Chains A and B, each alone.
Chain A
Amino acid sequence: MNIDYFFQMFLGGLTRGSIYALIALGYTMVYGIIQLINFAHGEIYMIGAFTGLIVAGLMTLSGWNSLSILVIASMAAVVYASAYGWTMEKIAYKPLRKAPRLSALISAIGMSLFLQNYVLLAQTSDFLPFPNLIPEFKFLKPVEHIVRSSEIVIYVTTAVVMVLLTVMIKFTRMGKAMRATSQDQEMAMLVGVDVNRVISTTFVVGSATAALGGILIASHIGQINFYIGFIAGIKAFVAAVLGGIGSMPGAVLGSLVLGWTESFFTGYISSDYEDVFAFLFLVFILIFRPSGILGRKETDKV
C-alpha cells in the first residue's frame, strides 16, 4: 500500500493514542502516589465532555464566537471535572486509605457505576450531538486529505500537557512533594510533606487532563453519551499498564503504542480483530516485560 495511506493510519493512531494518553496520565499518577487503580477515572473524562457540551450549548445560545467557546468550555470542563476528581477522592478513597487495597479498588468500581448512572439520569441515555468547537481549516493539497485541524489541536494539547506535567513534577515544590510521597508516604509525612494535599492535587491534575481529552475527542467525533468513559477508560488503563503503571513517560508511550497498534491492525489487517490484537500485544509485552515498557520493578502492587 502507498505511503499516503500509511500516514493516514499513523496519524489516526496518534489521535487515539493522544486521547488515551490524556486519560492514562491520571491512572498512572494516582497509582504512582497511592497505589490505587482509580477505575472511576474514565467517568471523569465523560463528565468533562458533558460539561463541555452544556457550557458550549449555553454560550452558543448567547451568541459567543467559536474560539472563546472552545477556550471557556474547555476551562469549565477542566474545573468541573477536577472538582469531581477531588470530591471523589475525599468521599470514596480517603476513608479507605488504611483499609486493604482491595476495598479501595471496589470503592473505585462502585464510584464508576455511580457516576455513569448519575449522568444517565441527569442527562439522557441517547447519544447527543456535540458541536464542532475546533474550526475546520482547509489545508494545502498534499495534507488536506490526511489530517484535520481538530486532530492537530489534539496532538498539540497532548504535547503541551506532557511538557507542563514534566516541568511540574521535576521543578516545583508540589512536584518534589509528589515524588517524595510516591517513594514513601510515611517518611514524607515525617519530613513535613502535607500528604493529603499532595494526593488531592494528584486527583485534580489527573482529572483535568482527562477532561481535556474528553472535550477534545467529543468535538472531534461529534457525539457523546453517558457510556463513553467506560471503554476509553479501560483502554487508557491498559495503555498505562503497557507503558509501566506509575511512570508518566510510560503512560504516554503505552498510549501511543496502543493507538498505533489498533490503527495499523485495522488498516492493514482487519478491524474485526482490532481489540483482539491490541490485547494480544499487551499480553506479549507483559509476558516478556512484566513491569511494562518503562515501568520500575515492583511486584508487590495490585
Chain B
Amino acid sequence: MLKRHSRVLAISIAGMLAITLVVACSQKEETVVVQKEEVKPVKIAVVGPHSGDLASYGIPTVRAAELVMERRNALCGVNGRSIELVVEDDVCKPEIATSSATKVAGEGVHAVLGHICSGATKAALGIYKDTNLVAMSPSATNPALTQSGDYPNFFRTIASDDAQAKLEVEFALGVLKVSKIAVLHDKGDYGKGLAEFAKGFIEADSRGEVVLYEGVTPGAVDYSAVVNKIDQSGAEAVIFGGYHPEASKIVSQMRKKGMTTIFISDDGVKDDTFIKVAGEYAEGVYATGPMDTTNNPLAIEAVEAHKKKYGEDPGAFFLNAYAAAQALINAVEKSCSTDYNDIVNVLRNEWVATPLGIIKFDERGDAIGVGFAMYQVKNGAYEEVI
C-alpha cells in the first residue's frame, strides 16, 4: 500500500494523470479499453431532503459525503479516479423521490448514497434496481426494505425499525417497569411501521399491555384531543413512532397539561431540533438512536473534520452517512470497478473500517456491526442511558 501511494504521489506531482491511472489499476491487469473508460470520475449521487421541514436529516448526509469525497480526492481518489457528487433534493416525498431517482440514474452515477426517509427510499429503489444501481441509505429504517427481499441493490448503515421498536419495548417493560403503554404514530411509513412492531412486541410480552393505539394527523392545528385520550387511557408511557415536529407538539401539550407520562420515541426524534423546539418540555424524553460511537477514533476524526469545515457539530445520521460513503468508495476501490455486481460483491464480503465500527453487509443488505442505544434528554442534550 505504502509503496503504491508514494508512487502515485510522485507521478501526480509530475502532472501525468493518465499514467497515474494505469499504475493504480495495473494490479488488476485491466484491458486498455477499461482504462480509457475509467478516466471518468466515479460519480456518487447523494439524494435526500435538503429543503423542507425534514432538511435537518438530509443535509448532514451531503456534508458527510463531501468530507469523504474531499479527503479521497486529496489522496488521488479511487484507483486514481476522482470522486464526484451529484446532489439531488427529494424533500422526503415519495413522488419527488421517483423523479430524483430517474434524474440521477440518467446522469450516469455509479452508486447512490440515500435516500433518507423510508417512504422516499422505497419509491426510488425500483428505479435503481432497473438501472442496476446500488443504493445505500444512512437512515431508512423500514424493515421491509431489506427483509422483503425485493431490493437486492439496497444496503443500509443503520439498523432497521424492528430492532428499534424491540429496544423501546424492552426498555419500557424491563428497565422502566411500566405495564400500560400507549402506542402512537404519525401515519407515515416510518412511524406507523415502527409503532406496529412496538405494538406486536408488547402484545407478545406478558409484562405489559397496549392501552391505546392510534395515528395522529401530521400538521394538525392542535393535539389536545389525542393528549386527553392518552391521559384518559391511564397509560404510564407513550411510545411514539414518527418525527420531531409532531413529537414536540404532543410532548409540550402533555407537559403543559401537567401529565408526567413517560415519552419514548425513535431516532426521528433523537435530533437536536426536537430539543430546541420543545425546550424545557423535552427534558426526560427517551429516544432510541444509533449506538454511541464517540470513542471510535474514526468517528472523532470525522466529527472534527465537520467542525473544521462547517463550524458546527454534525447533525442526524452524519456518521451513518460517513460510513455509507466510505463503504461505497471502498467497494469501488477494492473491486477496481464500478460494475453493479462487483460493488455488491465487495459490500457483502469485505469488512471496512468506518466511524460506526468495522462493518460489512449481510445477504439482505443490513449492516453487520451497527445497532441502537437508548438516549434521554438531560439538561438540554441527549445522553446515552443504556
Contacts and interface: CB of A to CB of B under 8 A. Distances in A.
A69 interface: no
B55 A220 contact: no
Interface residue range, chain B: 35 or more
Given A19-B221, A126-B53, A271 B276 contact: no
Contacts of B276: 129
Nearest to B229: A267
B279 interface: yes
Interface in B8-33: none
B225 A221 contact: no
A135 B367 CA distance: 50
B249 A221 contact: yes
Nearest to B52: A125
A151 to B, nearest CB: 8
B273 interface: yes
B176 interface: no
A228 B53 CA distance: 11
B224 interface: yes
A51 interface: no
Given A126-B53, A227-B219, A274-B217, A262 B225 contact: yes
B53 A271 contact: no
Interface stretch (B150-158, B250-258, B322-330): B250-258
B214 interface: yes
B226 A127 contact: no
Interface string A150-168: 0000000000000000000
Given A136-B256, A148-B256, A272-B215, A13 B53 contact: no
B222 A16 contact: yes
Contacts of B244: 127
A13 B225 contact: yes
A217 interface: yes
| Main secondary structure on A side of the interface with B | helix
Nearest to B273: A126
B187 interface: yes
A222 interface: yes
Interface residues of A, number: 42
Interface string A186-200: 000000000000000
Nearest to A148: B256
Interface stretch (A4-12, A105-113, A246-254, A291-299): A4-12
Interface in A8-44: 8-9, 11-13, 15-16, 19-20
B55 A126 contact: yes
Contacts of B222: 12, 15-16, 19, 217, 220-221
A120 to B, nearest CB: 8
A272 B214 contact: yes
A235 B252 contact: no
A181 interface: no
Interface string B266-296: 0000000100111101000000000000000
Contacts of A272: 187, 214-215
Nearest to B91: A125
Contact of A9 (B225, B249, B257, B279): B225
12 contacts: A5-B228, A9-B228, A11-B224, A16-B221, A126-B56, A129-B277, A145-B257, A223-B252, A223-B278, A267-B225, A270-B214, A271-B217
In order of increasing CB-CB distance, the 8 nearest A-B pairs are: A266-B225, A12-B224, A8-B228, A272-B215, A231-B219, A263-B225, A222-B252, A129-B277
Given A8-B224, A267-B229, 19 more contacts: A1-B232, A5-B228, A12-B222, A12-B228, A120-B51, A125-B55, A126-B53, A127-B248, A127-B273, A128-B277, A221-B252, A221-B253, A232-B221, A235-B221, A262-B225, A266-B225, A271-B225, A271-B226, A274-B217
Interface of B: 51-53, 55-56, 187, 214-217, 219-222, 224-226, 228-229, 231-232, 244-245, 248-249, 252-253, 256-258, 273, 276-279, 281
